[in-house]
Structure 1
Amino acid sequence: MAFRSVGTNLSREYTDGVLGLAEDLEALERSGPDFVEVWPQNLGVILGGRLDTNRLRAVEGLLLEADVAYTVHAPLEVNLMDLTSHGLQRDVLDASLRFAKYIGAGVVVCHAGQRMGARDARYSMGDQLSAERSALREAGDLAGELGLTIAVENYYPEQPILRGEVYDYSVWPSQLAEQISAVDHPRVGICLDVGHAALAAGFFGFDLIEECAGIAPLVRHVHLHDNLQRTNLTGEPQVSEHTVFGLGDLHLPPGMGTIPLEDVLRRMDFPEKPSCCVELSPESFSLVPEALNTARELSLALAAREPLSV
């Protein structure tokens, strides 16, 4: 297979209890994923940058009872370019790493840093990027001690970026690769989000296949999902409205959108087989079994270099 393992994400929130968590884990277990990607913020296990040990005990048993392995997605708002609260940002990432160790996860995904309009005007972009590199090296050292890999994810042109309120260099995968290459840490690589890359390519005009192929040596984890490659220029309506118009980051099962997934992945020569998370929206929870099968078929076809209609 082209991927080392194929799993899916646990995308719902369980901060008000654990009953729903047990039911969803059981349903996912029946779907047969190699792993489940969990978000500590959706489980309520981090409070103020530290692990909440009481809450951790409440969910740890359920997670470990399920017959699945795990990866972890650190909170979406972690921003290692934020110099106004840099220590807190590091604390949250470190807590995510320690949570991953508790549940036996091997990969922790985090988003690349962002420059936030007026808040960051006092800082140079160079200083912010340098701060992110230093933080990732330090986090990489901790990841090494814990037996983990950090995978930094590329982003897409969402509304704050389109309005010019936020600058995110990682919407260009090649720029993310430059930053991670400069970090130069064996425990820090890239999470290629194919759906994000497709939206960014459509809006900014770069070649999706070439851009993704160029970062393959650094990819340690893949987020695989589909969309219609239509940037949402109309605001931030409900997810149901996104779907009606086919706008934005839909997180559809592979094959339900228009991204040339096979063409993208076929050009990627991974020195290390990455893990692959089929990252679906909560609305697609019932489609997990079918989506996993599609991803595995794609992985097998890529390994054999045989064409597959996806």
Structure 2
Amino acid sequence: MTDKTLGVGLSIDVKDPNFRDIGSQIDEARHLGANFVELPLHKLDIVVGGRILKDRLADLKERITNHGVAYTLHGHLGINLMEDSHLIGLHKDVLKANLEIAQALGAVHLVIHSGFCRPQQASSVEHAYDRQREILASLGGEAEAADVVVCVENIFTYDFARHTALPSRLAAELRLIDHPFIQATFDFSHGYQHCAQVGADFVTEAKALTPFSKHLHLHDSFGRPKDFWTYSLTEDLAFGAGDLHLPMGWGSIPWDRIAAECAFPDGVVGDVELQYRYWSEARATVEAARAFCARLGDAPLAVAAE
């Protein structure tokens, strides 16, 4: 695409537990204009108890080969590197299985969620950050050997997560880890939601994380936490509440300011994560994502402000 970006991706869904629909989903994404496809490992039954089912992985690899696109892999959502110490070993096992699968499938990026602290969690927040940082730092060499960049995605707080890193804190953790194969996924809508929850300035937070953001999740929302009752997803849309995964331009994320003021690294993949209710807008959203990614650069406004 440009010197700054590798391309634009589209996250796909896989409903058949035996992967029989994955080829058609990949072909549709390519037809809609994506040159990357983000595969949902969290919907593919390949890991059991932290162990990879090699025959199923081989079957999946065969089914995704020769479709004319490159791949990124979204790892298991349940991986939590800030979990209590008596559970952390299991999470590390699943993470390492995710990395091995990403390598086998030829994915350039492995997306995992940033850790979070549960309401009943025994350990302190800072000790939890220490655990996450230690695990990610030790994973850097393995990721480099696999030629897979692990991209840690910012999330937001919800009932099961009493604390997670704001974009600026995630950036600070990555700066301490200081490894080229441990980088960030910036989910702009997640950041928009989280900043609204805690009263932080979104663009300021974005400026902190974008220099580490090799991977982007592109979808829109209104930065309005879903902290009141609605009847349905249609009503969530009517109120603009929650992490809606809307087409770019439907919400109020300040895309123009982000493109103009934020610095990005080389080798960015901009992946569209669209709610399937709005799939009719997929082609237009991929085009909007491509236009956005084409504007990314070293952001002289951001550099001048440092």
Q: TM-score, normalised by structure 2?
A: 0.90
What is the CA–CA distance in structure 2 between the aligned matches of 1:106 and 1:236, rounded to whole Å? 39
Structure 2 counterpart of 1:186, from 157, 180, 185: 180
Deviates more, 1:230-239 or 1:132-141: 230-239
Establish whether residue 7 from structure 1 lines up as the match of residue 9 from structure 2.
yes
What is the CA–CA distance in structure 2 between the aligned matches of 1:85 and 1:70, rounded to whole Å? 30
Cα deviation for residue 35 of structure 1 reads: 0.5
2:254 matched residue in structure 1: 260
1:151 matched residue in structure 2: 151
Contact kept, 8 Å, 1:157 with 1:231, in 2: the verdict is no
Alignment gaps of 5+ in structure 1:
306-310
Alignment gaps of 5+ in structure 2:
300-306
Structure 2 vs 1, CA of residues 112 and 301 (structure 1 numbering), >3 Å: closer, same or farther? Answer: closer
Cα deviation for residue 71 of structure 1 reads: 0.4
AA aligned to 1:234 is F
Residues 223-262 of structure 1 correspond to what in structure 2 (within 5 A)? Answer: 223-234=217-228, 238-262=232-256
2:126 matched residue in structure 1: 126
Structure 2 counterpart of 1:88, from 75, 86, 90: 90
Contact kept, 8 Å, 1:155 with 1:168, in 2: the verdict is no
Cα deviation 1:169-219 (Å, max 9, x = unaligned): 32x111111111122222111111111111122232211112111223222
Secondary structure of residue in 2 paired with 1:277 = strand
Contact kept, 8 Å, 1:177 with 1:215, in 2: the verdict is yes
What is the CA–CA distance in structure 2 between the aligned matches of 1:247 and 1:253, rounded to whole Å? 15
- Percent identity, aligned pairs only, is 28
The number of residue pairs the alignment matches comes to: 296
1:166 matched residue in structure 2: 161
Cα deviation 1:9-60 (Å, max 9, x = unaligned): 11x2335232322221221121121201112121212111121112212222
Deviates more, 1:16-25 or 1:61-70: 16-25
What is the CA–CA distance in structure 2 between the aligned matches of 1:13 and 1:237, rounded to whole Å? 27
Q: TM-score, normalised by structure 1?
A: 0.88
What is the CA–CA distance in structure 2 between the aligned matches of 1:236 and 1:169, rounded to whole Å? 25
Cα deviation for residue 154 of structure 1 reads: 0.8
What is the CA–CA distance in structure 1 between the aligned matches of 2:265 and 2:20, rounded to whole Å? 41
What is the CA–CA distance in structure 2 between the aligned matches of 1:237 and 1:67, rounded to whole Å? 41
Contact kept, 8 Å, 1:15 with 1:42, in 2: the verdict is no
Cα deviation 1:77-98 (Å, max 9, x = unaligned): 1001112311110111111111
Cα deviation for residue 6 of structure 1 reads: 1.1
What is the CA–CA distance in structure 2 between the aligned matches of 1:149 and 1:304, rounded to whole Å? 21
Deviates more, 1:107-116 or 1:123-132: 123-132
AA aligned to 2:196 is G
Establish whether residue 281 from structure 1 lines up as the match of residue 275 from structure 2.
yes
Secondary structure of residue in 2 paired with 1:222 = strand
Secondary structure of residue in 2 paired with 1:65 = coil
Cα deviation for residue 152 of structure 1 reads: 0.7
AA aligned to 1:129 is Y
Q: CA RMSD in A?
A: 2.0
Cα deviation for residue 229 of structure 1 reads: 2.0
AA aligned to 2:71 is Y
Residues 33-72 of structure 1 correspond to what in structure 2 (within 5 A)? Answer: 33-72=34-73
Structure 2 vs 1, CA of residues 14 and 168 (structure 1 numbering), >3 Å: closer, same or farther? Answer: same
Structure 2 vs 1, CA of residues 100 and 304 (structure 1 numbering), >3 Å: closer, same or farther? Answer: closer
Contact kept, 8 Å, 1:26 with 1:66, in 2: the verdict is yes
AA aligned to 2:19 is V
Secondary structure of residue in 2 paired with 1:117 = coil
1:114 matched residue in structure 2: 116
1:272 matched residue in structure 2: 266
AA aligned to 1:41 is H
Secondary structure of residue in 1 paired with 2:257 = helix
Contact kept, 8 Å, 1:222 with 1:277, in 2: the verdict is yes
Cα deviation for residue 149 of structure 1 reads: 0.7
Secondary structure of residue in 2 paired with 1:289 = helix
What is the CA–CA distance in structure 2 between the aligned matches of 1:149 and 1:134, rounded to whole Å? 17
Secondary structure of residue in 2 paired with 1:58 = helix
Structure 2 vs 1, CA of residues 87 and 302 (structure 1 numbering), >3 Å: closer, same or farther? Answer: closer
